[in-house]
């Protein structure tokens, strides 16, 4: 993993966090049991930059949490973003910050199990961001792949999982889910991929 002093240096030499995103970041850390699930400043900015570069029309996010990454995905382009969250208790905080960001009309919230919701979405995705329950990463990938256009992207967060991916023998079900996902993408001849050692690892796959 990247040393903390290097991370701090990178943050100090990056554009500052937008004020409403900083508020969302703070509220998430004050109110949520697992606040580290938030994408945060650096990754949020990266997602926003990626959208500005590839200019997607349709974006799917699997795993909204408090909405930080969804906001960045929407801010990065004029795209419609569909985002799926299993926990309906997060709806209030998500909608408040979508409104504050001025993008509530471009983000469609879906609450429930992603495996049930994804097949009901009649879309051709330009970008899919997976950041949900780790044992289902590969299931999500296989489900969305036919719905992603040629040249489209599938991004997966936590692809290094605190470095636990290096030890299959001691892997729990979450770690094993990430390992199986990474191995499958690496062997998938339908994509070109890059495992980026950024934050907790970001697997980028482009459909060819």
CA dist., res. 59 & res. 16, Å (int) = 25
Q: Could you tell me the pLDDT band of residue 3, with boundaries at 50, 70 and 90?
A: confident
Convert the pLDDT of each residue in 146-184 to its tens digit.
999 999 999 999 999 999 999 888 889 999 999 999 999
pLDDT at 1: 67
Average pLDDT over residues 90-107: 97
Query: In this structure, which long-range contacts are made by residues 26-30, counting pairs with CB atoms below 8 Å and at least 24 apart in sequence?
Result: 27/66, 27/93, 28/65, 28/66, 28/68, 28/93
pTM to 2 decimal places: 0.96
CA dist., res. 195 & res. 182, Å (int) = 8
For residue 69, the enclosing domain spans 4-207
Q: Could you tell me the pLDDT band of residue 2, with boundaries at 50, 70 and 90?
A: confident
CA dist., res. 42 & res. 9, Å (int) = 12
Phi-psi region of 63 (alpha: psi -120 to 50; beta: other; left: phi over 0): left
pLDDT at 170: 86
> Among residues 77, 80, 142, which one has the least CA distance to residue 115?
142
pLDDT at 82: 98
CA dist., res. 184 & res. 187, Å (int) = 5
What is the percent of the chain where pLDDT is above 70?
100
Q: What CATH number should be reported for the domain holding residue 156?
A: 3.40.50.150
Convert the pLDDT of each residue in 101-140 to its tens digit.
999 999 999 999 999 999 999 999 999 999 999 999 999 9
Q: Could you tell me the pLDDT band of residue 205, with boundaries at 50, 70 and 90?
A: very high
Q: Give burial (CB, 10 Å; 0-12/13-18/19+) of 144.
A: buried
* Phi, psi dihedral angles at 52 (to 5 degrees): -65, -30
Q: Count how many domains the chain has.
A: 1
């Amino acid at each position: 993993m990247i040393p903390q002093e290097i991370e701090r240096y990178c943050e100090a030499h990056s554009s500052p966090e937008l004020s409403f995103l900083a508020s969302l970041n703070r509220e998430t850390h004050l109110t949520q049991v697992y606040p580290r699930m938030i994408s945060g400043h650096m990754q949020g900015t990266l997602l926003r930059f990626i959208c500005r570069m590839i200019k997607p029309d349709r974006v799917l996010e699997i795993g909204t949490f408090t909405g930080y990454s969804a906001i960045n995905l929407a801010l990065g382009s004029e795209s419609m973003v569909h985002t799926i969250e299993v926990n309906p208790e997060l709806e209030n905080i998500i909608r408040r910050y979508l409104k504050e960001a001025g993008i509530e009309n471009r983000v469609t919230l879906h609450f429930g199990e992603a495996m049930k919701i994804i097949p009901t979405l009649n879309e051709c995705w330009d970008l899919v961001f997976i950041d949900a329950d780790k044992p289902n990463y590969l299931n999500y990938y296989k489900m969305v792949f036919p719905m992603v256009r040629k040249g489209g992207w599938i991004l997966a967060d936590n692809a290094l999982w605190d470095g636990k991916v290096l030890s299959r023998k001691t892997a729990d079900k979450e770690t094993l889910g990430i390992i199986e996902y990474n191995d499958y993408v690496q062997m998938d001849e339908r994509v070109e991929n890059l495992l980026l050692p950024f934050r907790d690892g970001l697997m980028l796959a482009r459909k060819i």
